[in-house]
Amino acid sequence: MSTAQAEAAGFVVPGRSRGIIDVFRFRYLLRLLVRKGILTRYHGSVLGWTWSYVKPAAQFLVFYFVFGIFLDLNRGIPAFPIYLFSGIIVINLFTEAFSNATKSIVDNAPLVKKIYLPRELFPAAAVIVAFVHFLPQLAILTVVCVFVGWIPTLVGIAGILTGALIIIVLATGLGLLFGAVNVSFRDAQNFVELILLFATWTSPVLYSWTMVRDVVEPWVLELYMLNPITSAVELFHEGFWAPLVDVSDRPPMLWLNAMLGLGLSLVLLFVGQLVFRRLEGRFAQDL
């Protein structure tokens, strides 16, 4: 049977990938990879899933004391603990999803070399596992906000969901791009660490966007606000922090910048898929 006849009959020719679409077509394999990633994350650990709460809590305490107490941002930003933690969990989601997706092909080298399956499944599974580990942090933030009087709004909930979507799309696109490059050039992992460092410090997590506005030129501020991670963080602030305080200076054109950030993330997803498809033929050889 020829390739054309096989495809006409509904069969999938081995080694032929349809790209990111295969993530939805091979849902069973995706579930297996996600389940493996979740079960092995804390394998052999005494605390197990408790680390999903301990790590962000320790990170929050360090940042709160350094920036909130020592640098006195606790006075400059009302409800600073909520402001800080709602930004931290966004950065944590991006950091884990992007970093794990970059290493996903190399970490699954035995599977890549021995059998054929759509290789996009590995970065996609890494992003989903990161999202699963993000949920306990989101639950903690929600409980704390409710305890201090948070009343969710439809606009706020839409902002939270849109912010999470921006981060997931962005991390998937960059994960495909750097995950493919990382197979041949392991320097990609070090480059990703630099990107994550900049992502943490160039997003309004530890400080307010107004501090940036007061020291840079207007065109620099526009570029800063177009950063998809900045948009995602500010959308989480809009959803969790803003209902608790009287915010006089909201980011200008927040939703427009968020849509532009989502569009940029989709472009990066498309570019990441193109690079991935171009390089995946060398994966087994380079591994």
Locate tokens 């980011």: which residue? 251
| Token digits of residue 170 | 């962005």
- Under 8 Å CB-to-CB from 150, ≥6 apart: which residues? 142, 240, 243, 244
How far is it, in rounded angstroms, from Cα 161 to Cα 35? Answer: 24
Q: What is the pLDDT of residues 213-226, one digit of tens each?
A: 889 898 898 989 99
Which distant-in-sequence residues (6+ apart) come within 8 Å of 182 by Cβ? 102, 103, 105, 106, 188, 189
Whole-prediction pTM: 0.86
Tens of pLDDT along the chain (287 residues) come to 444 554 444 545 555 566 677 777 778 888 888 888 877 766 666 556 666 677 777 777 777 777 667 766 666 788 888 898 899 999 999 999 999 999 988 888 887 777 777 888 889 999 999 999 899 889 888 988 898 888 888 999 999 999 999 999 999 999 999 999 988 887 788 888 888 888 888 889 888 888 888 898 988 989 899 999 999 999 999 999 988 887 777 888 899 999 999 999 999 999 999 999 888 877 777 66
Q: What is the dihedral of CA 124, 129, 133, 134, to 10 degrees?
A: 10
190-221: pLDDT as tens digits: 888 888 888 888 889 888 888 888 898 988 98
